[in-house]
Each structure stands twice: as C-alpha cells, then as structure tokens.
Structure 1
Amino acid sequence: MFLKDRQRRNIDYIQTIKGVVTLLRDPGQTDSIYDVEEGLRNIKAAPLSVEFLKSKPEVAAIIAERYLAPEPDMNALLKLPKGSLGYEYASYLTEAGFDPNFYRKIAVVDDVSYVFLRIRQSHDIWHIITGMKTDVIGELGLKGFELAQTRRPMSIILLAGGLLRTLLSSPEHLDLLLDRIAVGYRMGAKAKPFLLAQKWEENWEKSVAEWRSELGVELAPVYVP
C-alpha cells in the first residue's frame, strides 16, 4: 500500500510539473490547467480546502447534494432580458466564441472531485459576477478572488506561475498583474463566502446587479497606472 501511494504521488507530481511548465510557455493551454489541478487532488491542501468550504453551511449543503447543472440552452438564455445573468452569460460566451461545455469532465467520486467539477462548470459565471476579464491578467485576478473564497490549491499554483511568467517575459505588466490579483483577493474576502453555493442555473432570470448585491460582490475599480 505504501509503495502504491508513493507511486501515485510521484505520478501526480510529474503530471503537475509538466502542466506547470506548459502553462509557463503558453497560459492559454486549458488542458494543462486541468492536468495541474488533477495532479494536485491527492495533496494535503486539496481536502483541507474542501474542509474550509464545508465550514460554510450553504457550501456544505451543495457539496453534500452534489448539485450539477444541465447543459445550458444558449438560444433560450439569449431571449431573457438584458442584464439578467442568463442573457449576459450567453451573450458573453457567444461573442467570445466559447463553448459552455468546454471544460474537462471528471467522475465525481468524493468531495474534492465534486468541487473541481462544479468550479469548472460555473467558471464563466464567476467571470460575469466579478466583472473580471478573460485575458491572462483578468484570469489571474479571478484566481485571487477564488483563493479568498475557496483556498483552492490550483489558484495558488496559477497565481505563482502567472507572476513568474510575467516577471520573466513581460515585467512591464507586473504592476497591473499585482493590482488585479490584490483587487480580486479583496473582492473575494469582502464578498459573502457563498459563490460556490449558488444554483445560478436555476435563477438565470435574476439580474447580475441583484446577484452582486445579494452576495456582496463589489466590482473591481479600473486600474490606473
């Protein structure tokens, strides 16, 4: 058993390192993000982050339920009023040419794998709610928000990798990146710790403004260099 556990950890570490190296070369490699995350699932920090989440009763309830939403009907969402979460989500994905089901599916076998999958499924909704852009700097700003809300190990890895890559390849953007990460973390810390608890897909008609108000999400101020 010890040897099997050690072999598994070694495989996880190799998968994580390969994914991190790929991301440092090209942050747009989504598959590498999933490789890194799945390589981290057996480290001690992964279940600890889930225990942190489950300390919030609303989040503990959705984890216990294993709630996952069906595939969204984009045409139906585009018929909702402008400003509603459903319309803004569908409009954003359509204009960007994104597939709402692009994320890698994994079998839900425990709390850790459920949290992985639910965050992947609702990732773009978090972008809408926080107002964080989908460029590299915006993604890392969202990771700051996620870190405050979830203590997710993947957030730390991506933040560290993003800082290192910026330092080495485009240090002129370091101030902007640090600003977005700090702003994202403060937003996540000030907001109610319930974003993961939300069944967004059952309330598409609710306005983004209402969601933000209910959850205490304050939009990030515009960066001024």
Structure 2
Amino acid sequence: MTLIDRPLTAPDRRTYGFRPRKVLHHFRKLVENKEDTEQVFQIIEATKGKASHAQALQFLQSAEGQQQLRRDIDIPAMLDDHDRWADLPAGSVGQHYMAFMKREGLTAAGLVAESHKWAPPEELPQDQTQWYYDRLRDTHDLFHILSGYGRDALGEASLLGFSYSQNHNNGLLFIGYAGARQIKKVSGTKAPLYASIREGQRNGKAATKIAHQDIDALMRENLEEARARLGIREPRIYRECLAILEREGYQRDDLSLNAGAAAAA
C-alpha cells in the first residue's frame, strides 16, 4: 500500500492525552540515565494529545500536505546524502546543516534508529498520521540550524520550548523546563534560564511550521533568507544566558542535560 493510499488515521491509533503517572515513571528513569533516549520518546508519547493530532490532520488534509504525501520523500536518506548538497553555496541552509552534523557526529538515520528502539515501525499504526509524526522527528536537526539554538544543555532545553510551539506536545515543554531546572541546580547560575525557554516558546509560535516545508527546497535557501521568510526571531535571551554562564566559568560540556531530549521533538 502506498502512502497516499493509507488511511488518514488507522483504527488502532489511540490518542491518550496527558498521562502524568507514565510521564513521571519515565522521567525518573531519564534522570537516572540521561543518555537513555528511549525514555524521552516514552515521555513524548505519553503527552501526545489532541492538539498534536489535530495539527497533523490539518496538515495532511491541506493542499501542501497532500503534495508532500504524494512525493513521499525519505527525509533522513535525503539529508544524509551529502553528495546531493555538495554544490550548495556558502551560507545556504544545507551547508550549515552539513557542517553542524559533521561537527556533532550526527546522522539523520541515527535518530531514526534511536526512535525504533522505543517503537519498531511494524508496531506503529500504518497511517498518514504516523508519517507526519515521523516528519517532526526527521526535521529535528534543521530546527537547530534555523532557530539558532545549539546542542549545549540550555540550547537543547530552549529548542524544546520552540518545538513545543511548533508541534504542540506538552512533553517537550515539560522536559525543557526540567532541563533548565537541572542546569540551575548544577550551576547555581544567575542567567535567566527559564526566560530562555519562554523565548523559545515565543519564537516557535511566531515562526511558520518548519516541518511543513519542502525540505529539499529549504536546504537550498540562504540561511538568513530562510529565517526571514519563516519569521524566525533571534534567540537573544539564550545568547545572553550563554554569555553569563561563560563569565561564571562554565563551558558547553560542564552542564548536564540529555541531548536526546530535543532530538525526540
């Protein structure tokens, strides 16, 4: 069955809404092992409610969504095909993306593999809604590039605030604020960490939905022009916080936060 022939929402798909006991159970496990990305996916699933589902349906039934469904591009394979982007000019989204992924030792396929540890594809509903949720996952590292939030602890937490406003999953906001609290606990910093999360929320709300874009075309745009077109604002409070943390003597790797948290967005 081709993607366009799949049901919009499979009969076996369930939308539970917020399940606090499940969230706390998996959050405790995440605190015990901050590299256990499976717990992040569990939290995201336990907080995926009606707002996320409604946004998925709205996009899938739009002309833009229907066009993307018919194209059915394998986004991780496309993003990891660096030869495809080799001739892009300096300053393009794609050039920034490739430099970021190489510097961080990341691949789009690696994130997919992590998500499959939690839920193998054959166990997920075979519907167009799942394709949409996968698209949110697969565009995560483009969120980093376009939003300006780094992979430092506060950057990941602030990006979760941004992603919450884009994707409407309460789990993202929960982990974001929990991450800021952890940074505050570890460092005792005077930086306005929670304000950085709130700034991420505002910036994500003001911006056009990144996951709804034609990703191939987006990669070829100039980064600053893409940010302007999408209405993405500068993360000024986040950068202010980084400057304060640096003056206090902290470097990127000094503060603990699971980098997989935002990756599950």
1:38 to 42, 45, 51: 45
**Structural mapping, 1:10-29, within 5 Å:** 16-29=23-36
Distance 2:101 2:61 in 1: 26
**2:260 aligned residue:** none
2:152 to 135, 139, 148: 135
Distance 1:118 1:198 in 2: 10
CA contact (8 A) 1:144 1:181 kept: yes
CA deviation vs aligned residue, 1:63-83 (integer Å, no higher than 9, x gap): 555455340212332442111
* Matching of residue 207 in structure 1 with residue 222 in structure 2: yes
2:235 to 192, 213, 220: 220
Deviates more, 1:28-37 or 1:102-111: 102-111
* Consecutive unaligned residues in structure 1, runs of 5 or more: 1-8
Distance 2:227 2:145 in 1: 10
What is the DSSP-based 3-state SS (H/G/I as helix, E as strand, rest coil) of the residue aligned with 1:189? helix
RMSD: 3.1
Distance 2:174 2:62 in 1: 25
Amino acid at match of 2:202: R
* Matching of residue 126 in structure 1 with residue 129 in structure 2: no
Distance 2:190 2:126 in 1: 39
Residues 24, 112 of structure 1: alpha-carbon distance in 2 compared, 3 angstrom cutoff: farther
* Matching of residue 48 in structure 1 with residue 51 in structure 2: yes
Residues 110, 157 of structure 1: alpha-carbon distance in 2 compared, 3 angstrom cutoff: farther
Question: What is the CA-CA distance between 1:131 and the residue it aligns to?
Answer: 0.7
CA contact (8 A) 2:60 2:128 kept: no
Fraction of identical pairs, as percent? 19
* Consecutive unaligned residues in structure 2, runs of 5 or more: 1-15, 245-265
1:100 to 91, 96, 108: 108
What is the DSSP-based 3-state SS (H/G/I as helix, E as strand, rest coil) of the residue aligned with 2:171? helix
Amino acid at match of 2:145: I
Q: TM-score, normalised by structure 2?
A: 0.66
Runs of 4+ in structure 1 deviating by more than 6 angstroms, as ranges, are: none
Q: TM-score, normalised by structure 1?
A: 0.77
Deviates more, 1:118-127 or 1:19-28: 19-28
Residues 93, 77 of structure 1: alpha-carbon distance in 2 compared, 3 angstrom cutoff: same
**1:188 aligned residue:** 204
**1:116 aligned residue:** 133
Amino acid at match of 1:51: A
**1:148 aligned residue:** 165
CA contact (8 A) 1:68 1:118 kept: no
**1:5 aligned residue:** none
CA contact (8 A) 2:136 2:211 kept: yes
| Aligned residue pair count | 210
CA deviation vs aligned residue, 1:35-87 (integer Å, no higher than 9, x gap): 2223444xxxx2322314655x6984555554553402123324421111111
Residues 25, 111 of structure 1: alpha-carbon distance in 2 compared, 3 angstrom cutoff: farther
CA contact (8 A) 1:78 1:91 kept: no
CA contact (8 A) 1:89 1:128 kept: yes
